[in-house]
Amino acid sequence: MSSKIYPIGIQNFEKIRKDGYFYIDKTALIYQMVKTGSYYFLSRPRRFGKSLLISTLEAYFLGKKELFEGLAMEKLEKDWITYPIFHIDLNTEKYDTRESLDSILNFTLEKWEQQYGTAPSETTFALRFRGLIERAYEQTGQRVVILIDEYDKPILDVLDLDYHVEHLGKMITLEEKHRNIMKSFYTTFKGADADLRFVFLTGVTKISQVSMFSGFNQPTDISLSRDFESLCGITKEELVRYFSDSIAELAKAYNCDFSEMTNRLTQKYDGYHFSEKMADLFNPFSLLNAFYLKRLGGYWFKSGTPTYLIRLLSHSNENLNEIVGKFYGVPQFDDYKADVEKPLPMIYQSGYLTIKDYDQDTESFLLDIPNNEVREGLLTLIANDYLQTKEDSASWLLDSVRMLKQGRLQDFMDGMTSFLASIPYSVRRKNSEREYERHFHYTFYLLLRMLSCYIVFHEKATSQGRADCVVETPKDIYIFEFKLDGTAEVALHQIEEKGYAREYAGDRRPIHLVGVNFSSEKGTIDDWKVK
């Protein structure tokens, strides 16, 4: 049994080090960062270790040398100076009322004012914070360190909600009120530049610097930095180096060998990239939970439902299949502007898409879903919201996978027919033939991509064209072609005519050619043929 104590949900560096929790040493990267700059911003998905990084920086700037014993920082740092630190954790509150942001800022500032004092003229949050920075420097003789965790949460909690409040004599949305307060608060940094040693902000999203950070020195954005790509998350090399015993235990629980389990973990939790360097990164929250519970579950996705993301997709004219698997320039996904018709930046920055390839000639990035954990959770969530079927998508998915693996094609097609028939007419009703065809393609995209979490799925390109879907199980190969208001015979003929099965000629598994016709009138499959 592994002797590791996994720090699941523990974000305090001091607690991890003192209580013997396992820690992957990132301190060499931290040292490089603090010695080469003063203002930083890092965007990473939730549960990726941002809060632990902030806590580690806090321990470092407090000069707690003893906590870094045995780590790279112990040999790198020689001075160990204690600085005054203002650590603002905006992840402790839900900001869906008009008083919530004011309350947390007031509570935080009052705590520091008890230590450093206040002045009667400091009547706003920004003025109070500016005064605190000045007095902290004067009283300690050391410049101030500011650490802000989840800076964007007051915005994300109310994003795209039509909730209006009175602010400075005007009726504005709660999102706008929060944005104005935080903008004024961050403007403090500009006048305090001489008093500051280090500023570090983390968040999920990169809310437009124009709207949030105007008025102060722009932080160095290391979200797409080659040098700091692995500052949060677990690399493949770290996985093998630090967790070999954990992988072996999990392999034993699943009755497979070390290599197979490593591959399963890779398919389930790996696949994140945050620069053109393309360093593979595992989601640390999911990985540690899998090792602790000895089960490959969907831990990250289930830890928080992205309600704001579903709201944005619902309002957008873009479907997920029209967004993923495409190359984008950095400005298209690396900044957030309040445009519900362009949800790509939010989807990427929240961790539901990641970089999968880089084109140096055009300096563009291929974006797609990171791994099977995210694919299963996200597609099921979107399918339930988009299709609004009476039957739960997750139940249909698991039943379908079992049927295909067992070679029960008839049962699979019957199940899909029933599932599609349960989509309400109000959902599939469209104003034009083009919109209905778009709905048809999106429906099958969602269903087939969900299947790909458990079995090998391809949108197979051949010299003669592209097969709609190829599914490989350990025992069988299924080649599907779907038609809308055509015939199953035409679909089957296309598979044969285009030679979609040709590349599998040497495969020993039985090959099943399946032509499927979908009726727009019935709203489901009305005929299918297999050969």
Domains, the chain, in order of start with CATH, read: 13-221 (3.40.50), 234-302 (no CATH), 307-368 (no CATH), 388-530 (no CATH)
Q: Among 250-254, 281-285, 311-315, which stretch is predicted with the lowest mean pLDDT?
A: 311-315
Phi and psi dihedrals of 478, rounded to 5? -115, 125
Q: Is the pLDDT of residue 314 over 80?
A: no
Give residue 462's pLDDT: 43
Q: Percentage of the chain with pLDDT > 90?
A: 60
Q: CA 411 → CA 240, 390, 417, distances in Å?
A: 41, 19, 10
- Whether residue 210 is predicted with pLDDT greater than 50 in this model: the reply is no
The answer to whether 528 touches 515, Cβ cutoff 8 Å, is yes
Query: Tokens 């820690």 belong to which residue?
Result: 23
Q: What stretch of H or E contains 87?
A: strand 85-89
Give per-residue pLDDT as tens, 53-111: 999 999 999 999 999 999 999 999 999 999 999 999 998 888 988 889 999 999 999 99
Closest listed residue to residue 487, CA positions, set 521, 524, 527, 525: 527
User: 133-176: per-residue pLDDT in tens?
Assistant: 999 999 999 999 999 999 888 888 887 677 888 777 788 888 88
pTM for the predicted model, two decimal places: 0.88
Confidence of residue 270 (pLDDT cuts 50, 70, 90): very high
Torsion, Cα 170 175 177 183, to 10 degrees, reads -140
242 vs 317, more confident: 242
At 376, give phi and psi (nearest 5°). Answer: -60, -50
Supply the angle between the helices 174-191 and 100-116 in degrees, to the nearest 10.
30
- Can you say how many angstroms the Cα of residue 441 is from the centroid of all Cα atoms in its chain? 25
- The pLDDT value recorded for residue 301 is 83
How high does pLDDT run on average in the chain? 89
Per-residue model confidence as pLDDT tens digits over 119-136: 999 999 999 999 999 999
Give the list of residues 6+ apart from residue 307 with CB closer than 8 angstroms, or none. none
Average pLDDT over residues 320-331: 90
**Whether 381 contacts 369, CB under 8 Å:** no
Q: What are the backbone angles phi and psi of residue 367, rounded to the nearest 5°?
A: -110, 135
- pLDDT for residue 185 is more than 90: no
- pLDDT of the residue at 463: 46
Per-residue pLDDT, 487 = 95
Residue 208 burial (10 A CB sphere; 0-12, 13-18, 19+): middle
CA distance 167 to 170: 5
Range with the poorest average pLDDT among 179-188, 196-205, 304-313, 403-412: 304-313
Rounded to whole angstroms, the Cα distance separating 60 from 57 reads 5
| DSSP-based three-state secondary structure for 19 | coil
pLDDT at position 166, please?
78
Which residue in 499, 420, 500, 512 sits closest to 468, CA to CA? Answer: 500
User: Maximum distance among all alpha carbons in the chain?
Assistant: 84
Q: Which residue has the higher pLDDT, 306 or 19?
A: 19
Residue 410 has pLDDT above 90, yes or no: yes
Predicted local confidence at residue 457, as pLDDT: 67
**Residue given tokens 């906590």 in the structure block:** 67
